Structure 1
Amino acid sequence: MPGDIQVPQSVPASYYYLWHLTALGVIDADYGPAPLVLPDPGESAVREVPDPAIGATVWDMIAAAGPVYPARVALIDVGVSRDHPNLASRLEHDACIDLTTHRYGARVEPILDTATSFDREERQAFFTGLDIGPLGNLGLTNDDHDYLKDLADEYAVSEGVVRRLYAPESLFASHGTCCAGLIVGEPAVVTEGDGAALTVEDAFGDDGLPAPSTNRNLLPYFGVDPFSKLISIRTSFEDDVRQFIAAFLYAYHQGVDVIVVPRGFPDPKRSRVEPKNELKADLESWKNQDVANLFARLAAAEQGAAELEPKQAQKGANPDRGWRILKRLIVGVSKRIPIVCAAGNSGESQLIYPANLASDNNGIIAVGAVTVEGFRSGYSNYGEGLTVVSPADDGEVFNRHQLRVDTLSPFAAQHDNSEIRMPAYRYSHFSLLTTDLAGAFGYDQGAGPWSSIIPFAANPGVGGGFYTTFGGTSGASAQVGGICALIQRAHKSKNGAGASLTGLQVKEILQGASRLDTTVAPGTRPLTPDCMNADGEDSLDISYFFGSGLPDARLAVAAVLGP
């Protein structure tokens, strides 16, 4: 019963910054004795909880199966910091591309020798040999297929640029840097120049705990798969559909093993959340006639009326063609390469675009967020099409269906909830820790390595600003992207470096290794539906909130490796 949720159950053990890897079965961690049970609200219990001891890892399973070949993950986002110590050797610098500042792609190369004169910009082709023939017509009309083919042919002979200027990722790539750390972050080490990754044995001491770094700012940080490689495909939030078409064409051309899209796309039609049926029925009532009129005006605008369309296209133009082609391209590519998408952070029972394209006959994986308390994160979208969920932070909810309040917030004391009678769901104070841009442009806005010469950089940040707390369905989808990389890497260990599973195969393995009857370690409550947007919603099938459930990376890899 919802009322039972008001009584605190056994609480999670003390915070551990890689707790999400435990929840996903990537690492085994011993958190010590079971936490105490609090019998009554308001009572508290304090005990010393030792740091968890790290045991076996799923990385060991893959290494024991055969040669270790990295999977290649394409991250379509706002860019990734190429200089972050936990990411520098995990990025494929020669394959990363910026599609926001040049139509045919741009790349930044550092000036290694200041005594040598370099042109600031030189031409380079990034799409040479692009062939979309194996994709077929993607279900497009003949006209749209010809349009896409002409566009692909143009990119195949195009030339982008290589620039020796300041990298834009150093300013605007905080979101991508956070997602990249959750996927492929590795402990930062000083190498002999070969760029090799740190081994698991080097990273953990004899006591099973992470070994400290010689740099006091750096953590022995691990993404879900620190032995894979990442390609950053930088796109903007502008409603320029060509950059997104180019992004998927480039990922397909590179032959990556996984594509991660931890954000939505600004498709003017498909990114719009449609009103639910129950809301449409409410519009027919007399008291909502004004709202109904607004919906009618919006519908008229969709049919081409000038009202509410400040960017109305010129006569003869077909502004939806590019977006229509992009949708078919995403679905077509997903059947060959798994595409992991964030479900969205608006708390709606509908998914954002392109996560809402996920279906049983494609390789699009829509990912929602759950908390260590076992509930859907307060902001996470859910509903039809959701594939799986992954750990993240929480969001407060205060509506007529539930109360979820951060009691540690300094603003909590301003609200007297004693007279409120509604289901109360425990708020989770666990969040994801991940890599961040050091300095003012990062999420944490901590001081960068140059802080000693900047007197106003007073905030040292987590690890000197190299790390930040993070969450959202962005963080959840990034972790699932890492699990898909583990699946592909296990397949390569067994079948050779050139072997890859299709998007449909990876999705089937992922769903088969996910559970609805599990807890989000180190929490103790099983996955539990919550009432969010409608009366009695928590009585719906549990898959409506969690899809196939929480993935277990160990089960997924075991399914690939076999007995």
Structure 2
Amino acid sequence: MTDQTKMPGPAPINYYYLWHLTALGVVDAEYGSAPPTPPAPDVSAARALPDPLITGTVWDAIVSAGPLRPARVALIDVGVSPDHPNLATRLDREASIDLTTHRYGARVLEILDTTTSFDREERHAFFGGLDIAPLGNMGLSNDDRDYLGDLVAEYAASEGVLRRLYNPESLFASHGTCCAGLIVGEPAVVAEEGTPSLPPEGAFYGNGDELRTSGNRNVIPYFGVDPFSRLISIRTSFEDDVRQFIAAFLYAYLQKADVIVLPRGLPDPKHSIVDPKNELKADLELWKNQDAANLFTRIAVADQGGPELEPKAAQKGSNPDRPWHVLKQLILSISRHIPIVCAAGNSGESQLIYPASLAADNNGIIAVGAVTVEGFRSGYSNYGEGLTVVSPSDDGEVFNRHQLRLDRLSPFAAQHDYSAFRTREYCYSHFSLLTTDLSGIFGYDHGSDPWSAVVPFGTNPGIGGGYYTTFGGTSGAAAQVGGLCALIQRAYKSRHNLGDRLSGPQVKSILKTASRLDAIVAPGTRKLTADCMNAESEDAVEMAYFFGSGLPNARAAVQAALAI
């Protein structure tokens, strides 16, 4: 009888669950010595050490500098799970707002024993005291300034609602919950009534002989970039409603946030106008560029046609671009007071999505791209002019005429002979960002039975609640940089007062100065390396085109803030 047993195939290497914090210098870890020469681009440069020696953290440096004065981070996203054990004490519920279910804001209160479905909503003035005079003229015309002034006056006099209902963010806030964990996640110990406090190893892992259910059994000692700061959730939808975005930034400004994080894009009113970049229009007469030449010809023909029917277009006689222009100037003006961290985009284009594309030297908008542990730009990460910095994240497969980036451990990789195309290959990274997840079946990783039901279990930790997931994208990268900005602000506050903060351009300058283009992404050993994505010989372009100022170092940034 023939032995049909097969040895298991290759598997991704094990890695430290907070590897991204070591790559940013938030946590100091020893991974051992690096090889004298970096490997070839198609060979992994990551060191396989899942339990590195931890020698210190940047949090210790801030604690030793002065009193604890948390920064306030406003996260404009789809909401945050209010009951996640690693976020429950970091989320400022009294300041958070939901702009999706009520134009003037809504907030969910605790459901009391006496609460019934007949209880009326309570009125609450979320925007009371709103004053944008400190923002100045903002570069608006008289008509635009009057438009914004009327809108601000309307919100300042408005009333939203307080509701004692089941929190909708327990159902639809998976993306925001992931970003929140990367920013301010903290270790969580569920204190059981009548039991003494336990050291972390006892609280999280318990006694091996213990059979009873422990509230900490499916909770891990997780850390975001700044677990000592607080987070304000500003919930928005994906509707193209410009008013909710204006309201979101006005509310973040009203709350005196120290950092604003926007790990998503906003509709760009000018993006629909097709205007190919000049470098893409070069050498169209060559055979290898025939597809691009044909595409540009079709675009030119389409532009000559009549306008498409827009059912939601503004009525005739109004200026549909005015609110979008006002939003743009509002974002730029607020960024000069508060740093605004934006995701660069996940389409692999050599241009940034909006509003990351607004980043410039004279404002506080921070556009963040993603890099892998292999030292390459993440396969999906947008890049180009205006990119500020990069941060660790996961990877994406790429197969075009400029590069091959393939997950060769996937069973589907063997179905095709990619070598026939003779495309330059870059090593695919299997590292992802571990972060907090929306518990239950509505999260990225579904929780296990019996608590993963149609109705989430709220604060009941249960067994296998699906509290964590792997995450990535430029959303994850932007969230980490948002945490770095919180560290910078908190370090500055420790030497000054709680109400003091650095301006957007100041934080941006510190972040850029603390970044390096020759950095490695630990536990990798390869320095940041450009790749060809959208053009021939693109990797010969200056490094800033792909990585901005480079990979930030948290300790250098904090030391700079402490020195001010």
Q: TM-score range by the shorter chain?
A: 0.7 to 0.9
C-alpha deviations, 1:322-378, integer Å up to 9, x for none? Answer: 101000000000000000000000000000000000000000000000000000000
**Separation (CA, whole Å) in 2 of partners of 1:188 and 1:47:** 30
**Residues 39 and 471 (structure 1), Cα distance of their counterparts in 2 relative to 1, 3 Å cut:** closer
Conserved in 2, the CA contact under 8 Å of 1:225 and 1:483?
yes
Q: Per-residue CA shift, 1:49-69, capped at 9, x if unaligned?
A: 461232210000000000011
What is the distance in 1 between the residues matched to 2:79 and 2:531? Answer: 35
Partner Cα separation in structure 1 for residue 428 and residue 320 of structure 2: 44
Cα distance, 1:167 vs structure 2: 1.2
Amino acid at match of 1:389: V
* Alpha carbons 1:439, 1:448 under 8 Å: kept: no
Contact 2:441 2:453 survives alignment (8 Å)? no
CA deviation profile, 1:184-208 (whole Å, cap 9, x unmatched): 0001123699xxxx9xx96589xxx
Q: 1:237 to 1:416 in 2, by over 3 A?
A: same
Provide the residue aligned with 2:267 in structure 1. 266
Classify the secondary structure of the residue corresponding to 2:501: coil
SS in 2 for 1:28: strand
Q: 1:100·1:235 contact (CA, 8 Å) conserved in 2? A: yes
Q: Deviations over 1:123-144 (max 9, x none)?
A: 1110000001111120010100
2:552 maps to what in 1? 551
Contact in 1 for aligned 2:446/2:452 (Cα 8 Å): no
Q: Contact 2:42–2:425 (CA<8 Å) still a contact in 1?
A: no
Distance of 1:539 and 1:466 partners within structure 2: 43
CA contact (8 A) 2:448 2:463 kept: no
Residues 453 and 368 of structure 1: is their aligned pair in 2 closer, same or farther, counting only changes over 3 Å?
closer
Cα offset, 1:117, TM superposition: 8.8
Say whether residues 1:167 and 2:162 are aligned partners: no
Matched with 2:25 is: 25
Superposition map of 1:124-523 within 5 A:
124-190=124-190, 212=205, 215-270=216-271, 274-280=275-281, 291-292=295-296, 294-296=298-300, 299=303, 305-307=306-308, 309-447=310-448, 450-451=451-452, 464-523=465-524
Contact 2:47 2:525 in 1 (8 A): no
**Contact 1:284 1:292 (8 Å CA) reproduced:** no
Worse-matched range after superposition: 91-100 or 270-279: 270-279
1:489 aligned partner, one-letter code: R
- 1:341 counterpart SS class: strand
Q: CA RMSD in A?
A: 3.3
Closer, same or farther in 2 for the Cα pair 1:64/1:272, shift >3 Å?
Answer: farther
Name the SS for the 1:368 alignment partner. Answer: strand
Q: Is the 8 A contact 1:448 1:465 kept in 2?
A: no
Residue of structure 2 equivalent to 1:5: none
Amino acid aligned to 1:71: A
1:106-125 to 2 correspondences below 5 Å: 106-114=106-114, 119-125=119-125
1:451 deviates by 3.6
Q: Secondary structure at the match of 1:166?
A: coil
SS in 2 for 1:65: coil
TM-score (norm 2): 0.88
Once the two structures are superposed, what CA deviation does each residue of 1:281-305 show, in whole Å capped at 9, x if it has no partner? Answer: 577999878744642465467xxx5
Cα 1:462/1:140, change in 2 over 3 Å = farther
Change over 3 Å in CA distance of 1:496–1:384 after alignment to 2: same
Matching residue's letter, 1:436: D
8 Å CA contact 1:13–1:523 kept in 2: the answer is no
Distance 2:427 2:55 in 1: 30
Contact 2:357 2:367 in 1 (8 A): yes
- 2:183 alignment partner, SS class: helix
Contact 2:375/2:520 (<8 A) preserved: yes
- Residues 55 and 272 (structure 1), Cα distance of their counterparts in 2 relative to 1, 3 Å cut: farther
Q: Which stretch of structure 1 is more off in the superposition, 40-49 or 163-172? A: 40-49
Rounded Cα–Cα distance in structure 2 between residues aligned with 1:44 and 1:366: 28
The residue number in structure 2 matching 1:531 is: 532
Deviations 1:465-501 (A, max 9, x none): 1100000000000000000000000000001211100
Cα distance change, pair 337–192 in 1 and its aligned pair in 2 (3 A): farther
Letter in 2 for 1:490: A
| Cα distance in 1 for residues equivalent to 2:562 and 2:521 | 25
Q: Deviations over 1:129-173 (max 9, x none)?
A: 000111112001010011001100110010000111121111110
Distance verdict in 2 for CA 1:155–1:222, change over 3 Å: same
Q: What amino acid is the match of 2:15?
A: Y
Shift of 1:464: 3.3
The answer for unaligned runs of 5 or more in structure 1 is 1-10, 455-459
Distance 1:146 1:453, change over 3 A: closer
1:463 and 1:495, CA in 2 relative to 1: closer, same or farther beyond 3 A?
A: farther
Structure 1 contact 340–480 (Cα < 8 Å) conserved: yes
AA matched with 2:237 = S
Q: Which amino acid aligns with 2:110?
A: P
- TM-score by structure 1 length? 0.88
Relative to structure 1, is the Cα distance of residues 287 and 502 closer, same or farther in structure 2, using a 3 angstrom cutoff? closer
Say whether residues 1:70 and 2:74 are aligned partners: no
Distance in 2 (CA, whole Å) between partners of 1:528 and 1:127 is 47
Measured in 2, the distance between the counterparts of 1:105 and 1:75 equals 15
Residue 531 of structure 1 aligns to a residue in which SS?
Answer: coil
- Aligned residues between the structures: 535
Q: Secondary structure at the match of 1:419?
A: helix
Which amino acid in structure 1 is aligned with residue 73 of structure 2? V
